[in-house]
Amino acid sequence: MLDLSFDALVLAKFRVTADSPVIRHPLGPVIADPSLLTPDLSPDGRWHLFAHSLAGVRRYVSDDGFSFSGGRVLFRRAMRPDIKRVGGEYILTFERVQPLLPRGLTLLGGRWKSEIWVSRSPDLVTFSEPRPLLVHDGRDSERAGKGWALSNPFLLEDDGKFRLYYSSGLTFVKDCGFSEPTHICLAESDLPFAGYVKRPQPLISPDPSSELFNICSGCLKVYRLRDGYAGVQNGIYNKDGRSESAINLLRSDDGVKFEFVRTLIAPARDGSWMSQFVYASHLLLAPDGSLRLYFNARDRADITGTENIGVAVAE
């Protein structure tokens, strides 16, 4: 992405492919939060997509980035993965959550407790035992009712150092009946797998006056470009009496202070698989030179809603 200018992103028109969703939810209502390795970054020259279902973090493979197979569960009690190649190894970070029963009880008032964990792999076949990477330290911005939440890790290597963007806290979304991440935060380290120091305050918090970020901040993915930083964020907002989520492009000179530029993908509002929420995404440059935006979407807010993964290609 270092050869890409911000203007190229501003001018890009992302079109959701006709065959989306490219991965449908397996034996449950949700497959979400895609993170990918392109063939030039993988050990076998194939696409690798990591995502989570209720069972945990799964891995899918593909020859073209559109038709995926596999879906084996790699880690249970795991959500919202991020996969990166750093040097000669792969760093997988994810939100480590409670077992399924205590997690389900949070819908009835139980305490949500999650932190960010890391696993390392030399080949995407064997993975090290996961261990804590970023843990709750008592600050108010991490609170989730009587519990706490750290989620949505996204690792960025920048000038030989490492930035870990992540979400913190939870805010209850009424029509969904569940909570979404409240703030966007940043921690920094000299190593990709240890030693992160959190910034004192969140980078982004909900803004009641904003049309697109008035309930929750959702998640943020940050990319270093030729002329600055691009942020891709999905906030949760109230519109016409219901909650929605859209994927938005932000700009930054330093990767810390961001400003809104435009919406990349909005909910379809047509009863389709992406009718109400367009969620967490991964922007990448494919080997053929095309810009692709992988994302998950939800058709409706209530308990009958389902989430699937799609892809949009820039024209």
Q: What is the pLDDT of residue 99?
A: 79
- Residue 122's CB: how many other CB atoms inside 10 A? 12
Q: What is the pTM of this model?
A: 0.96
Do 228 and 169 form a contact (C-beta atoms < 8 A)?
A: no
**What is the average pLDDT across 210-238?**
98
- Predicted local distance difference test score (pLDDT) of residue 106: 56
Euclidean distance between CA atoms 93 and 137, whole angstroms: 19
- Is there a contact between 278 and 297 (Cβ–Cβ < 8 Å)? yes
Domains of the chain are: 6-314 (2.115.10.20)
Query: What is the model's pLDDT at position 102?
Result: 63
Q: CA–CA distance from 241 to each of 173, 181, 225, 237, 244 (Å)?
A: 12, 20, 37, 10, 10
Examine the pLDDT at 32 and tell me if it is beyond 90.
yes
Give me the chain's average pLDDT, please.
Answer: 96
Listed as own residue / partner, the contacts of 40-46 with beta carbons closer than 8 Å and 24 or more positions apart are 40/287, 41/85, 42/124, 43/123, 43/124, 44/124
Strands 68-75 and 78-86: unpaired
pLDDT single digits (tens) 83-111: 999 999 999 999 999 876 665 655 555 68
In tens, the pLDDT along 167-191 reads: 999 999 999 999 999 999 999 999 9
Tokens 């989620």 locate to 151
Q: How far is CA 25 from CA 10, 28, 231, 248, 275, in A?
A: 31, 6, 27, 24, 16
Instruction: Confirm if 313 and 65 have CB atoms less than 8 A apart.
Output: no
Judged on CB neighbours under 10 Å (0-12, 13-18, 19+), 274 is buried
Q: What is the pLDDT of residues 268-309, one digit of tens each?
A: 999 999 999 999 999 999 999 999 999 999 999 999 999 999
pLDDT at residue 98, rounded to an integer? 85
Residue 77 CA to residue 79 CA, distance in Å, equals 7
